[in-house]
Structure 1
Amino acid sequence: MGWVKPARLEKQALLDDAAEATGLEDFGSDWFERPFDVLLESIRAEAKLNPAGDFSAMQQFHKVLKDRLWAQMWFARHPEILARPIRRPVVIVGPMRSGTTRLHRLLASDQRFSFMRSFETISPVPRPDFEEVLAGRKKDFRPVLAGRIMKVARLANPRTLNIHPTGPYEPEEELGLLVNSMWGMKHEAQWMVPSYGRWCEGEDATPAYEHMANLLRLVGWSQQVSSIRPWILKTPQHMLDLDALLNVFPDARVIFTHRDPNAVVGSAASLAWNQTIIYSDHADANELGREWLRKTRVEVERMMAARSRVPAERRIDIHYESMERDWRSTMGRIYDFLGMDIAPAWTEMQGFIDRSRALKRHPHNYSLAQFGLTPEMVQSELGEYVDAFGVASETAGTGGARSAH
């Protein structure tokens, strides 16, 4: 309608705009420019963005680049941030839609852990006036911004927040910290950028994880919490980049989650579809389904190849159906693995379960057939994974509609 200027998805223009907006020029390590170049080219060649998609991409990049500039400002202003240790984090590693969010939020109910909140994964870097927030003279604007973004997302497609319910203060994954390096599957789940995804699969993600660790230190400092509390981390990206994760967090304790790949692939494709159609008027459901089947296979292959780097005493496997059948016993196993007493956390965990039951009113319905896939196609790609980990079949997830909460 001509209300906004045309988007300029050109790297130098975006860098210059962010520098001008902040009055800063240090973006930190320039490693991020490599994936940024590939991502911009993939958007131009493949994403077929509509005007809203163009505009939102430009805004997203502008925000990420400003955050990089502000992060370096905070590191220079408070060198003690980078000295904060991140010891023995608990990392949930599983395919998208394999119950990682539920497990993450159950563990985050325990106040003995540190975790990201949704507004922090959207805006991990405080604004330059944050010291006034710490002094109690101002309120942090980031939760307000997160709330506005979620309202826009719900207006654009109400299904997106039904599929992954959240709120500004809900525990959330750290994928936004990897986006700060122009890295990660978030881009593939909102735009059709297959060449970018394949390029990333061939690269060492360690620099992105190093920057993620520094942003975690910044988040911990901004929360004013003790660095003794171990972090709870989770994002499906770790399936692809387990080697990089272990390079940066060599003492991590890893919880591997497993679920019937028919449900994983169908649900992941549905999540990506309901985001992609906001930004493009030319999304193809069958093409998207094939891509997420391929992506899930690559995730599983990379995880299976790298998991031997985690000593047996620092890894545990948790199955989705076990959590569905008896979450209390399953959480007990996890706490035994962590060497912690679960008793102090029961009340908070039960509170989360009670709140989550309300989500059943808004089920996530999907099927493989919506995306041109069949159980036989999934079995062909992921049968080895099913056999290796004894993954149980979810009958309802193989053919018709499936509801998951």
Structure 2
Amino acid sequence: MSDIEQRIRTHFPQLVEQMNAVPEEFAPGWLKVAARRNIGLDDFGPDIFEEPLERLCNSVNRDANLNVYGRMLLAGMITTQLENRLLMQRLRAAGALGPRPTPPIIVTGLPRTGTTFLHRLLASDPNHASLPYWQLMRPFSRGESDTPEMRLAEAKAVLDVRRKITPELDGVHLIRADRPEECMFMTASSMQSRLYWNLAPVYSFMDWYNQADRTGKYVEYIEALSYLQTQYPGQRLVLKAPDHVDGLAELLDVFPEAIIVQTHRDMSEQFGSYMSLGRVSRKLSVKALDSAREVEAILGLTDSSITRNLAARQRHPGKILDIRYADLTADPLECVEKIYAHADIVFSDAQRTALAAHLQDNTKGKHGAHDYDLSEFGMTVSEIKSRYADYESRFLT
């Protein structure tokens, strides 16, 4: 029995039956049946999710080497996202999704480049609304009794398991049920998302995903935002996910009004931090990690993200505002001024005061330190610098 299974059996014995109930082999059929049974609806809407779901299941079976906890975690996430598809289709059929949202600010960038810091800073502006984890996981009510309070309590229970099993994750990426979080948790209902890679080493799925067109994903993303905007009248949504960094061409095709802000960081720091985060999260789910293959996959994902991002800039010139991590950490409010000027947003004294208070209350390392060393992953600073010299020359000098 693995350490993670032992911890679950000790702290959460009620999950043991749930873990053991997940089939060894993943297949779209039983996952869709589970979602339909849980929600009581049949229509998943547009079939854009079918191919990625098939590929994801095949990759889980071929590549992932999941333990019983990993199978439960991944099956639960996929089922939840399929349930969200069913609920969104019900809203779409009823004409209840709402008009196009106020153009949101969408923060993206390669993972670990300051996107979370900037997103939560912008979200502290009282004129803005951010989406908390519970709402991103369950954006649509399942019925009259499924209140926001119930969905919040459900999310808290899920995260309580996470904290007891891996308390070190708070120092790497803090998640709380009622705090702003990545909209990756919402776009994953398309099944076109790196969320699944964050949970399990699904190598062949990511090989496909790196080349896939994202148009359908972003059509549904904007529809979901249209509905969520109705929950925050008079406020501008502020969103964030590195998941968008390689889909900006399609996102801007679908919603050219969106305000896109991209962060950039020294690539050796970015790579080391991302590898460390991924290792902490994925090691929970697998019987054993293939470290060399993991490094190769992250490098491939990074290469693809940069290539696709540069193509998006050619297709939509002037639409992406770049912010350097070093500038963001040196003078956050100056970076906010730059963003607001780009978006023609007034930055009042009251807004500045609110953002300054947020900075004072949320100092770096408040929830624990995140330490990592590139040598842990068989890489050196010079190797990363050489590989991404063109990127750093363009965005960091």
TM-score normalised by length of structure 2:
0.90
Aligned position for 1:108: 123
Structure 2 counterpart of 1:147, from 142, 150, 156: 156
In the alignment, structure 1 residue 90 sits paired with structure 2 residue 105: yes
In the alignment, structure 1 residue 201 sits paired with structure 2 residue 210: yes
Amino acid in structure 2 at the alignment position of 1:194 = Y
In the alignment, structure 1 residue 121 sits paired with structure 2 residue 127: no
Q: Give the superposed CA RMSD.
A: 1.9
The structural deviation recorded for 1:17 is: 2.1
Amino acid in structure 1 at the alignment position of 2:157 = R
Local SS of the residue matching 2:107: strand
1:290-309 → structure 2 map (5 Å cutoff): 290-309=296-315
- 1:175-217 per-residue CA deviation (whole Å, 9 max, x = no partner) reads 0111111121111122111110110122111111111122222
**Counterpart contact for 1:88–1:253, Cα < 8 Å:** yes
Amino acid in structure 1 at the alignment position of 2:128 = F
Paired with 1:385 and 1:89, the residues of 2 have a C-alpha distance of 27
1:193-342 → structure 2 map (5 Å cutoff): 193-221=202-230, 223=231, 225-226=232-233, 229-312=235-318, 314-342=319-347
Which ranges of structure 2 fall in alignment gaps of 5 or more residues?
1-8, 10-15
TM-score normalised by length of structure 1:
0.88
Paired with 2:242 and 2:274, the residues of 1 have a C-alpha distance of 11
Change beyond 3 A, Cα 1:331–1:237: same
**Counterpart contact for 1:19–1:66, Cα < 8 Å:** yes
Sequence identity of aligned pairs in percent? Answer: 27
**Counterpart contact for 2:249–2:316, Cα < 8 Å:** no
Aligned position for 2:12: none
Local SS of the residue matching 1:173: coil
The structural deviation recorded for 1:265 is: 0.6
Paired with 1:50 and 1:89, the residues of 2 have a C-alpha distance of 39
Paired with 2:392 and 2:22, the residues of 1 have a C-alpha distance of 45
Paired with 1:290 and 1:344, the residues of 2 have a C-alpha distance of 47
Paired with 2:99 and 2:126, the residues of 1 have a C-alpha distance of 19
Paired with 1:351 and 1:166, the residues of 2 have a C-alpha distance of 20
Matched positions, count? 379
**Counterpart contact for 2:39–2:142, Cα < 8 Å:** no
Aligned position for 2:392: 386
**Counterpart contact for 2:84–2:189, Cα < 8 Å:** yes
Change beyond 3 A, Cα 1:267–1:165: same
Which contiguous aligned blocks of 4+ residues in structure 1 show a shift greater than 6 angstroms?
A: none
Aligned position for 1:365: 371
- 1:75-125 per-residue CA deviation (whole Å, 9 max, x = no partner) reads 334x242x3212432222211010011111111111222321111122222
**Counterpart contact for 2:219–2:254, Cα < 8 Å:** yes
Aligned position for 1:49: 66
- 1:3-62 per-residue CA deviation (whole Å, 9 max, x = no partner) reads 344423221112122212222101111110110000000000000000111122222222
